[in-house]
């Protein structure tokens, strides 16, 4: 990679450069280069100019495939260097997490109506437009660690906890109703860690995750919560590895073979509930009890193992993903960061 293409944006350059001694013109009290250093750097290198970044041509599909295959090579190389390559051969040490929302009023695909009708209205209440997010967790061997049901910031009634077995689900809550660093920290360091211990799973283990910027902004530890999350994962020997961005439709086991059937089954469940209880609605309190049989029906060991294999995650195989599903809108850059520790100044220690 050339010097020009490897330079970060101004802000990231100032944030990510780390040296053993302070810069001569660095920011006061930090080891980060300041604006004066940046300007002097450009004056020393007149052949380098600040330019707008440009994405690769969308028609260069082969480049996208090459980037993804390089991601496979980077992960394999990193694990080999740290004598951890055997993890890729042991299905029970690989896990995939991902979040999806389940609406209280799923879209009904078909309804009986008079021939020629173009618009078939479907009445819903305002409450039925709500949804509950679920952070699913599946193992490469088909195992099911507890997944996480995330409620909007509210007092969760006791009957919700009683409706589901703790072996299948943990309960969390956040202001938005979606995953955040606090909820993820509590889940991984409690429910998931305890499950690993109870099942005598050899560590370290790998948790594969998507590069979802609203959820896992680990490029820099920006606050204490993020610091504790990454630090604790290192202590617990849980390796968080990001799969390439914008590849969930063919490299994410939960998207490839599980979330689709699960949402179809959920829609059927809600429709049956409505038919039997025309004056009642799905609520936050009733969701868990209704969702449990849907979840257990879809999450079969056979489907989970097949989904991992189809994505090339387990077994770890760069030729397994269906690259024909790369579209013109796909990103042409990858991220092979392995988050395993924290530097003394609070930044994430990531290997690429």
Residue 337 has a pLDDT of: 55
The whole-angstrom separation of Cα 242 and Cα 78 is 13
Q: What mean pLDDT is predicted for residues 278-292? A: 91
pLDDT-derived band at 27, boundaries 50, 70, 90: low
Q: Is the pLDDT of residue 185 over 80?
A: yes
* Lowest-confidence segment of 47-51, 231-235, 290-294 by average pLDDT: 47-51
Q: Is the pLDDT of residue 193 over 90?
A: yes
Q: Is the pLDDT of residue 85 over 90?
A: yes
What SS3 class is residue 179?
Answer: coil
Q: Is the pLDDT of residue 346 over 90?
A: no
pLDDT-derived band at 118, boundaries 50, 70, 90: very low
Q: Is the pLDDT of residue 186 over 50?
A: yes
Percent share of the chain, pLDDT over 70: 66
Query: Against a cut of 0.75, is the pTM above it?
Result: no
**DSSP codes joined into one string, 90-155:** -GGGEEEEEEEEEESSPPP------TT-S-------SGGG-EEEEEEEEETTS----EEEEEESSP
Percent share of the chain, pLDDT over 90: 41
Using the Cα atoms of residue 178, residue 263, residue 148 and residue 137 in order, give the sign of their dihedral: negative
pLDDT in tens, 49-72: 555 443 333 433 444 788 889 999
**DSSP codes joined into one string, 1-64:** --HHHHPPPHHHHHHH---SS--TTBPTTSSSB-HHHHHHHHHH-TT-------PPPTT-HHHH
Q: Does 163 or 235 have the greater pLDDT score?
A: 235
Residue 161 has a pLDDT of: 85
Contacts of 327 (CB under 8 A, 6+ apart): none
pLDDT-derived band at 233, boundaries 50, 70, 90: confident
Q: Is the pLDDT of residue 215 over 50?
A: no
pLDDT-derived band at 323, boundaries 50, 70, 90: confident
pLDDT in tens, 29-46: 555 566 676 677 777 777
Residue 227 has a pLDDT of: 66
pLDDT-derived band at 317, boundaries 50, 70, 90: very high
Q: Does 267 or 54 have the greater pLDDT score?
A: 267
Residue 216 has a pLDDT of: 45
Q: Does 22 or 293 have the greater pLDDT score?
A: 293
Q: Is the pLDDT of residue 102 over 90?
A: yes
Q: Is the pLDDT of residue 300 over 70?
A: yes
pLDDT-derived band at 247, boundaries 50, 70, 90: confident
The whole-angstrom separation of Cα 96 and Cα 140 is 8
pLDDT-derived band at 349, boundaries 50, 70, 90: very low
Q: Does 335 or 204 have the greater pLDDT score?
A: 204
Q: Does 209 or 32 have the greater pLDDT score?
A: 209
User: How many other CB atoms are found less than 10 A from the CB of residue 45?
Assistant: 11
Residue 260 has a pLDDT of: 92
**What average pLDDT does the chain have?**
76
């Amino acid at each position: 990679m050339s010097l020009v293409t490897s330079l970060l944006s101004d802000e990231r350059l100032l944030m990510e450069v780390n040296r053993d001694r302070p810069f001569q013109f660095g920011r006061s009290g930090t080891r980060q280069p300041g604006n004066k250093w940046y300007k002097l750097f450009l004056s020393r290198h007149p052949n380098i100019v600040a330019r707008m970044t440009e994405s690769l041509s969308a028609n260069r599909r082969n480049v996208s495939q090459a980037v993804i295959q390089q991601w496979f090579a980077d992960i394999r190389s990193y694990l080999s260097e740290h004598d951890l390559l055997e993890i890729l051969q042991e299905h029970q040490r690989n896990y995939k997490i991902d979040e999806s929302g389940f609406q209280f009023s799923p879209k009904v695909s078909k309804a009986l109506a008079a021939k020629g009708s173009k618009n078939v209205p479907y009445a819903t209440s305002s409450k039925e437009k709500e949804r509950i997010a679920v952070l699913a967790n599946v193992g490469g061997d088909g195992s099911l660690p507890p997944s996480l049901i995330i409620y909007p910031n509210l007092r969760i009634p006791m009957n919700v906890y009683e409706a589901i077995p703790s072996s299948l689900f943990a309960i969390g809550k956040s202001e938005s109703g979606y995953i955040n660093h606090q909820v993820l920290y509590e889940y991984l360091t409690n429910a998931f860690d305890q499950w690993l211990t109870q099942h005598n799973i050899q560590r370290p283990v790998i948790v594969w995750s998507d590069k979802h910027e609203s959820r896992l902004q680990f490029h820099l530890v920006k606050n204490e919560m993020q610091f504790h999350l990454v630090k604790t994962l290192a202590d617990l020997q849980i390796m968080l590895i990001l799969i390439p961005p914008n590849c969930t439709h063919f490299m994410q086991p939960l998207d490839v073979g599980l979330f689709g059937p699960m949402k179809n089954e959920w829609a059927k469940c809600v429709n049956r509930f409505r038919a039997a209880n025309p004056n009642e609605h799905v609520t936050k309190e009733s969701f868990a009890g209704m969702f449990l049989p849907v979840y257990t029906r879809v999450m079969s060991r056979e489907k989970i193992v097949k989904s991992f294999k189809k994505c090339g995650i387990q077994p770890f195989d760069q030729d397994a993903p269906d690259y024909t599903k790369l579209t013109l809108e796909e990103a042409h850059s990858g991220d092979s960061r392995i988050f395993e520790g924290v530097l003394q100044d609070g930044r994430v220690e990531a290997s690429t």
